[in-house]
Structure 1
Amino acid sequence: MQMQQFIDRSHLDLPTLNAWIEAEWLVPIAAKRRLDFSDAELARVRLIQDLKADFGVNDEGISIVLHLLDQLHGLRCLVQDIQTMETLDRAKHGG
């Protein structure tokens, strides 16, 4: 989604959005001289907002939570790849 639609859906103001991009809490896709945002980025905004408002997590804590979440996602993808390779290997060898 384009920036204005993302701002409307996330209820962020432009300075906050820019600060979160600068902090690498959000990583939009650069496309033809504009920034596009995914639904995953919208979910991250909602998580950040919940952590700040509901749990009182400070900026340093937000960075740690997002870093751990990204690591967990990477490990999940790796496990899925390994499972796929094992399934293909079993099929290849008739097992």
Structure 2
Amino acid sequence: MKEQEFLHLIRLDRATLTVWIEEAWLSPSEREGERVFEEVDLARARLILDLKQELGVNDQGVGVILHLVDQVHGLRSAMRDLLGSMHEKSGAERDQ
């Protein structure tokens, strides 16, 4: 989705969005000179809003939490790959 639609859906002003991108809290792609947002960006922005508005987390805390969330997702992906490799290996051993 384009930036304007994203801002409307998340109910955010452009200046705040710019800060979030500068802080690397959001990383939209760019097409034809325009920022393009995916559903994952929308979910992440909602998480940021919840952290700040509902839980009262300050900006430094938001950065730490987002970093930890990213690490957890990375670990889940690595674990999924490892388990997939183990299943493939055990299947190949059974076939021999």
Band of TM-score, shorter chain: over 0.9
CA distance in 1, matches of 2:4, 2:52: 23
Q: Which amino acid aligns with 1:13?
A: D
Q: Which amino acid aligns with 1:84?
A: G
Deviation at 1:32, TM superposition (A): 2.5
Please tell me the root mean square deviation across aligned C-alpha atoms, in Å. Answer: 1.1
The unaligned stretches of length 5 or more in structure 2 are none
- Report runs of 4+ in structure 1 exceeding 3 Å deviation: none
CA distance in 1, matches of 2:2, 2:94: 48
Q: Which amino acid aligns with 1:55?
A: L
TM-score where L is the length of structure 1: 0.94
Aligned match of 1:69: 69
Q: Residues 14-48 of structure 1, C-alpha deviation per residue, up to 9 Å, x if partnerless?
A: 00111100010001012232111111111111111
Aligned match of 2:37: 37
CA distance in 1, matches of 2:12, 2:19: 11
CA distance in 2, matches of 1:54, 1:42: 17
TM-score where L is the length of structure 2: 0.93
